Amino acid sequence: MALPIRYSLRNALVRWRSTIATVLGIALVVFVFVLLQSLAAGIERSSGNTGDPRNLMVVRKGSTAESASLISRATLQEIRYFPEIARHEAGDPIISADVLALVNLPRRNNGGEANVLLRGVTPRGRELRPQVHLVAGRWFEPGKREVVVSAKLARRFANFDIGESFKSGNATLTVVGWLAGGGSAFDSECWLDADECRSIFERDMYSSFLIRPVDAAAGAKLIARIEADRRFKLKVEKEVEYYRKQTMTAAPIKWLGGFLAVTMSIGAVFAAMNTMYAAVGARTREIGTLRVLGYRRRFVVVALLVEGAFLALLGGVLGCVLAFHWNGYTTATMGFETFSEIVFEFRVTPGLIAKGLIFAVVVGLIGTALPAIRASRLPVIAALKSL
């Protein structure tokens, strides 16, 4: 059995032109597959990396996202004094009432326009989100129409440098700082004072509440208490769970990646099949010689399958290396949850690389199967007489 396999592997080196063509074809398929899946993984990581497990997110019952939620100011006044909510040293409840608004702003270098998410936060908002920190400038001061923008968004949108201003309706907001969200969904937001945001966008209600309960037991009790009160009509869940569910944007990208992978893999299978058919045709006498030496048909089939899998694996490794070059690259797309620009990074994980390599080997085996079976069925005498 060792001789046919060594023969097949050495043949890949001797016929290097067809080998390179097969390897590059499969490498391209694997590259596209892994890269598109890494986009979806980056979006999922951005949402899954957001929030504090101690916090509770409160939104309107029936709403799919904060941006579609409306909660009255009267509800805030009733809930904020519940005993299950933790207190600050000064005795103030640790709760933030946020307001979300969309503004359409121009990109840098005349790159068109896109929606940007503005989050109005109350004084406890920053305390409840410790992963968000300043990287430049200072925090906004309430009443001065100041805003702190994501450093990643600042690289993509015009007028987001510190000291610059942009208009939203009749209001002009001045950028006084850049924030970083630690690879979370907050990297796609701009923050300003909540009451000022309500005033600018003429909102009479808040979008969501973020609450820190005293402990886990108090959190469970608080969830039951708020959701059971029919006056509020609110839904409560852990902040990390809320953001983990906000991955609708990743689904179409995953589907597109799978669709393109299947479509391109069909072409790769035919390319591999064509290469192997040509290889079998050029090696008819050699295969006949192996049969004369006593090697059975199944050994010939296995040897050719090993050759095809080996070439496909080389293509898979090359495709994964090319895709890994993009790991950590920052890009953005429109989020279907908020219809705003969301910033994320390509995430080429070990799991994706493993999937890419398995995918490559499967394509190679499928493309080699028919030529290998044909080679094994060649009549020995006819194979030896071939030119």
Cβ neighbors of 75 (< 8 A, separation 6 or more) are 231, 232, 234
104: buried, middle or exposed (CB in 10 Å: 19+, 13-18, 0-12)? exposed
Quote the pLDDT of residue 3.
Answer: 46
β-sheet bridge partners, residue 306? none
pLDDT for residue 336 is more than 70: no
Q: How does pLDDT run across 8-62, given as a tens digit for each residue?
A: 566 666 666 777 877 888 888 888 888 878 877 777 777 667 888 999 999 999 8
Angle between helices 250-282 and 297-324 (to 10 degrees): 140
Exposed, middle or buried, 76 (CB in 10 Å: 0-12/13-18/19+)?
Answer: middle
Q: How far apart, in whole angstroms, are the C-alpha atoms of residue 216 and residue 219?
A: 5
* Whole-number Cα distances in Å, 287 to 4, 13, 139, 380: 9, 17, 75, 8
At residue 282, the pLDDT reads: 57
- Which one has a higher pLDDT value, 113 or 370? 113
Apex 29 CA angle, 27 and 30, nearest 5: 65
Q: 265-306, pLDDT tens digit by residue? A: 677 677 666 666 666 655 655 665 656 556 676 776 777 778
- pLDDT tens digits, one per residue of 192-206: 999 999 999 888 899
CA 34 and chain centroid, separation: 11
pLDDT surpassing 60 at residue 383: no
What does the alpha-carbon distance between residue 131 and residue 124 come to, in Å, rounded to a whole number? 14
Question: What residues form DSSP beta bridges with 56?
Answer: 211, 238
Give the pLDDT score at 387.
45
**Listed range (115-119, 218-222, 235-239, 366-370) with the worst mean pLDDT:** 366-370
